[in-house]
Structure 1
Amino acid sequence: MLFPSISSATDTFNGSHSLPDGTTLVSKDGTFEMGFFSPSNNNPTTNRYLGIWYKSIPVRTVVWVANRQNPVKDNSSKLSISTQGKLVILSKNNTLVWSANTTEETKAQSLIVQLLDSGNLVVRDEKDSNPLNFLWESFDYPCDTFLPGMKIGWNLKKGLSWRLTAWKNWDDPSPGNFSWGMALGNTHELVMWKGSDEYYRSGPWNGVRFSGKNTPRYNLDFNSTLDEVYYTYRFVSNSFITRVVLNQSLYSRRRYNWIKENQTWSLYSKVPRDKCDNYNACGPYGNCNGDEPLQCECLMGFKPKSVQNYEALDSSQACVISEPWSCGAKDKDP
């Protein structure tokens, strides 16, 4: 499979071209750039990944990685469209490194790969009059970063789970065990997990926001249909750069805003905000007061199952009923 490479800055390439290591796509408004990179500056030819980052921000901030579990060990790789119409990364001797998940086959010559101003990488049919008919898009396969316009939740029709997963560490974009998504149920809460264990819950959607304070800087949106259940957000001003990222080492979901005057990312908010924010911090029938140090108390009518364990902040046994319930008795209602 031989493809000529693109020769100048552009936001697209088609099936007769490829994007080799050393060349990039740039979104029309210049916000995002896509190409091959190495997380380690000490050895830039070790573990090469195809990623998307902010073009105008001097410190490379990667928001999406394609081959996060299959790095290339040199700079021989290229992004191409296969003859079956799939987006692929090929290395030496055209060895397949990564392939986009899609079941639709279209002639490669009629396909266009485009990096949008939103940071979404899409594949679409050039002959389709509707430019929003995507055959594949990177927003369907988020990594550790949540951008305006992305969705957290489920595409029930396609069987997709829009869930973020943290990088394993700062120079390894492979998935860690810290993730954030939506738990399907009566409330459709947003949940963070450590592995399979619930770590944080947002609370139910009340029609305006999940439990917590709404922020006028951006608009929240929750949608539930037969095909999709998702949460998204968008900023009132497109000139404002913000991102939400999962931090594996801190087990924290953090929102950063770009401060142009200082040329730095500023931490705007984080969850959990303190130890009491953690899911089930004090166990069943326990009440959390304070975060440093964590203080747990049993609710009225309950007592620690193990006083020694509870004082040691082991909430696994938590609280049990201290006396029989006395419905209607003064000062004894549980």
Structure 2
Amino acid sequence: MEGLPFFTFFCSLISSSIFLKFCVASDTITPTQSMVDGETLVSSGQRFELGFFSPENSKNRYLGIWYKSAPHTVVWVANRNNPITDSHGVLTISINGTLVLLNQEGSVVWYSGLSGIAENPVAQLLDSGNFVLRDSLSKCSQSYLWQSFDYPSDTLLAGMKLGRTSNPDLERYLISWKSPDEPSNGDFTWRLDTPRLPQLVVATGSTKKYRTGPWNGIRFSGIPVFPNEQHYSHIMIFDKENAYYMLSFDNYSANTRTTINHSGFIQWLRLDEHNAEWVPLYILPYDPCDNYGQRGANSICRNSRTPI
């Protein structure tokens, strides 16, 4: 142990990337560091992990976030429409403070935007599953230069918003994967629709597939009471500047997610840690009568499962 002070001093001085890998904090990278394929960031509470992955039956590589201790479940993908075809991807912070994903040739595969300038930018994976770019001197969410929660893939986590905030140019919505093995943009979107009262709508292109019914002040009128609803609450902010929906969970927050699958179904899922599997709390549309426009002129729909 006598050599430890010397190692700490030595590590802080060496600029070689080989030594910098040993100095990288487990959940952050800085402009003097980079993360290569095979390395990962892990959030401080060991809930989420960020790194490179390949879907099953695919050799393409993607930068994504997944649950650390749960079954390998990807919740966010950076370069979903522009995969890397080998294992030489590199994530770094550029000179101007943006996150940049490079391939073996040094070409930009994906990059983040910026809402400001930081003198000391740092990228950090949070325990919420949010990957943020911020000034190292500030941890306030209002000062994030960029965050993955603003650019969701197919999954809604606790604390994520669907809709718009004070920035009218930024709309948050989910887009399904193309298939279980292909994370590129699929056929279905799930977004907050605000013609009058807000409602959530699943659509393929401009064609509506399913809608929740309008917000009634407590929940969306077309969604029944969920099992274990005492463990979470629906939140809707709807005013002149904001129109967004989010779910707030209690102690289930890290192990509960909502996703739109490649077939256009919305699934509320909770992790059964004992059996290491995701258990559906609810799936929408529940039956064919839930599909948009199925009820006809007299609002009557009948099927063999639940006559209405």
Q: C-alpha separation between the residues in 1 aligned to 2:204 and 2:42?
A: 35
The residue matched to 1:288 in structure 2 has which SS?
Answer: coil
> Which residue does the alignment assign to 2:248?
234
1:37 aligns with one of 53, 66, 69: 53
8 Å contact 2:235–2:246 — kept in the other structure? yes
3-state DSSP of counterpart to 2:187: strand
Listed one character per residue, the Cα deviations across residues 46-89 of structure 1 (whole Å, up to 9, x for unaligned) are 210000000011x3100000000000001111111111111110
1:1-334 equivalences in 2 (<5 Å)? 4=17, 6-7=21-22, 10-40=26-56, 46-57=59-70, 59-102=71-114, 104-107=116-119, 110-128=120-138, 130=140, 132-211=142-221, 212-214=223-225, 215-238=229-252, 241-249=255-263, 251-290=264-303
Partner Cα distance (1:90, 1:268) in 2: 39
Query: Which range moved further: 2-11 or 228-237?
Result: 2-11
Q: Determine if contact 2:117/2:145 at 8 Å carries over to the other structure.
A: no
Contact 1:165 1:176 in 2 (8 A): yes
The aligned counterpart of 2:8 is none
For residues 68 and 141 of structure 1, the distance between their equivalents in structure 2, rounded to whole angstroms, comes to 12
Give per-residue Cα distances to partners, 1:203-245, cap 9 Å, x unaligned: 1111111113342221111112333211111112247611111
Structure 1 residues 80-89 or 235-244, which shifts more? 235-244
Q: Provide the C-alpha distance between the structure 2 equivalents of 1:193 and 1:93, rounded to a whole number of angstroms.
A: 38
- Which deviates the most, 166-175 or 154-163? 154-163
Moved runs in structure 1, 4+ residues, more than 4 A?
A: none
The size of the alignment, in residue pairs, is 287
Q: CA deviation at 1:283?
A: 3.4
Corresponding residue number in structure 1 for 2:6: none
- On the 8 A contact 1:256/1:267 being kept in 2, the answer is yes
Root-mean-square deviation over aligned CA pairs:
2.2
Does the 8 Å CA contact 1:169/1:248 hold for their aligned counterparts? yes
Deviation at 1:138, TM superposition (A): 0.2
SS at structure 1 position matched to 2:92: strand
Runs of at least 5 residues in structure 2 that lack an aligned partner in the other structure: 1-14
TM-score by length of structure 2 reads 0.87
| SS of equivalent residue, structure 1 residue 6 | helix
Cα distance in 1 between the residues matched to 2:253 and 2:156:
17
Q: What letter is aligned with 1:174? A: S
Gaps of 5+ in 1: 297-334
The one of the two structures with greater contact order (alpha-carbon pairs below 8 A, sep at least 6) is 2
Alpha carbons of structure 1 residues 158 and 116: separation in structure 2 relative to 1, 3 Å: farther
SS at match of 2:149: helix
Write the letter of the residue equivalent to 1:245: T
3-state SS of 1:289 partner: coil
Cα distance in 1, alignment partners of residues 97 and 304 from structure 2: 53
- Superposed displacement of residue 152, structure 1: 0.9
* Per-residue deviation, residues 237-287 of structure 1 (Å, max 9, x unmatched): 2476111111113x2111111111111111221000000011111333341
- Which residue type is aligned with residue 247 of structure 2? Y
Q: Which one has a bigger Cα radius of gyration?
A: 1
What TM-score do you get using the length of structure 1 for normalisation? 0.80
